[in-house]
Structure 1
């Protein structure tokens, strides 16, 4: 099988799959291949925090031209996957000299499938790109064509808990990946001081408590497959729920306006995480650390793309607030504004390249010590 992910998260996804029990895990470009049975496919969809799609390859062949593609698709026993009364959709990705238009490839695959059904049954299944019973993924690399079934359906970042959004909400898979990249495991207090819709705080709580990220999702594509096994899925879901653990620290989200805070609170309630997360109204630049012991912070400040702020001043205030008001804190944030970073006035201990959508960004880490860094060093020595 193949799990798709975002740029830079391939190793995180590989580690997730291994921990879940996948075999022969291999990292590629924005994807990870692995081996597993039907039950593992269900578990991967339910539990992988950094996966966008889980694909199940069913056939692979060489295609050098349009006729090769048509004949190859017709050679597949589609009645094993699709009933004549079902609907289907096709999505194609091509990196080939012979095939240059993905939409054209999708049309040819559709023709081959419906012609096969007409010939064998006198009727054909319909195409439905909104709510198909079966989603077919076509990937052509040079002359190699892989046909896969999309077991996820809608992207796995659509967890099912976020009913209310604000301007520039962060993708749930991106939020989870950033948390995992930061080393968050739930062993300190946590703060998102610019929480927006509450996504980072929610993903942080699910990681801390080992809650399956897609537990609130309404459906997966595999639930419409001809071999759908509800009893097997419920057994796997119950086993995952039995691994949920308690959390002994605090997770807090903060934002500037009451309207934003209310939306975040509704999303937290939708995720059934109100007992773990506190959302409050407040200005980060006027705040101070309010917990004893270590604190981890991760947030997504404005970049100046969709939210207009005075970038130099805003990022300077971030640095000043961290330095003056948050001792004993490991602070991470993501930004695509490289000029803004120069105004923070602190030297990051790590700087990791990531993408927020199409925006090349950096995930940066700042270590705010209790007292001076020199004192911290001498204590450690």
Structure 2
């Protein structure tokens, strides 16, 4: 099978962990960019990347690059591709355009011009034209213009890969599945210990934590990928790739626990964990985190997404102070990570974070922060390690 270059799109701040994921999966010529990582692989690897990557939003297969200076050069460049290699007049397509250029400033205009070029090519050659279908197209085309360089790609994923397929019930402010998985990987979560999400909402972080711990492919519950409608779709190859990934699923010998004080959130989280077939790994309880303490003997890994005051109405000063107090009083020997877009609120935690990583939750600039909570004081921990 022929190898070719592909591009995996991701969120800001996840480029390095996505590159690491690709290398572990067996990709060649892995190179990081901004919100993307390029790599080389064959058709089977494209299937594998869509199934297994936790921090990728889309896998694109570039088909042509050319320079664009105006709408005529864009039109000619799109027409220089033989689109009958990918669709017929009886198929439908849609174009997603992203533009970062002084010459072009409207992505919708670029998408419209590209659509005209494809439709005109079919009309000139056959007298008929394929349809546009924004929801369920047979081919999804990505046009990316950066300065004067236009890259035309086939979108092998379809809907963004954060649509894992297990989450049917959500709460007010659900976290994107790719963001949840990336936070977990940045936090060093590898399944070697007990895990807690103390404000679990609809259970996304719990599901992603369990899949990482057991090495379950991220998109195993997804109903479809765009490449299943391509001319060269190979069902047998896809089945064998899926089977080989599932053979690498491993046992998990610790606990993954979620708390939420809202009964509705607990019910939704349980539904989503059931949909993901992860019930044997995840326990969810109706608890107010501020009334709890550490339940396990060994080290605890905690990752969560507390309210920022954006969509949920809370007294932020009191709320974040209670987070810090609960850490100190109830959770010794814990590595606690959480994401917040309210940087002011961090002051009230009353503990100094040992790490701060810039991320975005949707359009909100956020920080993923880490707190190391020791048994007793930090000094006592330091002294005991010296005396050992």
Q: Partners in 2 of 1:93 and 1:66 — Cα distance? A: 15
The answer to which of 166-175 and 360-369 deviates more is 360-369
Pairing 1:44–2:67 present: no
SS in 2 for 1:227: coil
Q: Partners in 2 of 1:229 and 1:219 — Cα distance? A: 14
Structure-2 residue corresponding to 1:19: 24
TM-score (norm 1): 0.99
Shift of 1:91: 1.0
Q: Aligned to 1:35, which of 8, 33, 40? A: 40
Pairing 1:191–2:225 present: no
Structure-2 residue corresponding to 1:324: 329
Pairing 1:78–2:56 present: no
Pairing 1:106–2:106 present: no
Q: Partners in 2 of 1:94 and 1:311 — Cα distance? A: 38
Q: Partners in 2 of 1:349 and 1:73 — Cα distance? A: 50
SS in 2 for 1:304: coil
Q: Aligned to 2:341, which of 336, 339, 364? A: 336
Structure-1 residue corresponding to 2:351: 346
Query: After TM superposition, which residue ranges in structure 1, 4 or more long, deviate above 3 angstroms?
Result: none
Structure-2 residue corresponding to 1:236: 241
SS in 2 for 1:297: strand
Pairing 1:167–2:203 present: no
Structure-1 residue corresponding to 2:96: 91
TM-score (norm 2): 0.97
Unaligned runs of 5+ residues in structure 2 are 1-5
Q: Partners in 1 of 2:15 and 2:247 — Cα distance? A: 27
Pairing 1:282–2:283 present: no
SS in 1 for 2:344: helix
SS in 2 for 1:343: helix
Q: Partners in 2 of 1:31 and 1:95 — Cα distance? A: 15
Deviations along 1:349-372, one digit per CA (max 9) or x if unpaired, are 111111111111111111111222
Q: Partners in 2 of 1:325 and 1:44 — Cα distance? A: 41
Deviations along 1:60-104, one digit per CA (max 9) or x if unpaired, are 112222221112111111111112111000011122232221111
Pairing 1:260–2:265 present: yes
Structure-2 residue corresponding to 1:55: 60
Pairing 1:250–2:250 present: no
Number of residue pairs the alignment of both structures matches: 381
The answer to which of 89-98 and 325-334 deviates more is 89-98
The answer to which of 181-190 and 345-354 deviates more is 345-354
Pairing 1:273–2:278 present: yes
Q: Partners in 1 of 2:195 and 2:170 — Cα distance? A: 22
Q: Partners in 1 of 2:21 and 2:80 — Cα distance? A: 35
Unaligned runs of 5+ residues in structure 1 are none
Q: Partners in 1 of 2:262 and 2:110 — Cα distance? A: 48
Structure-2 residue corresponding to 1:134: 139
Shift of 1:276: 0.1
Q: Aligned to 1:117, which of 91, 106, 122? A: 122
Q: Aligned to 2:218, which of 213, 217, 225? A: 213
Structure-2 residue corresponding to 1:227: 232
Shift of 1:115: 0.9
SS in 2 for 1:338: coil
Shift of 1:375: 2.0
SS in 2 for 1:259: helix
Q: Partners in 1 of 2:264 and 2:101 — Cα distance? A: 49
Q: Partners in 1 of 2:39 and 2:140 — Cα distance? A: 20
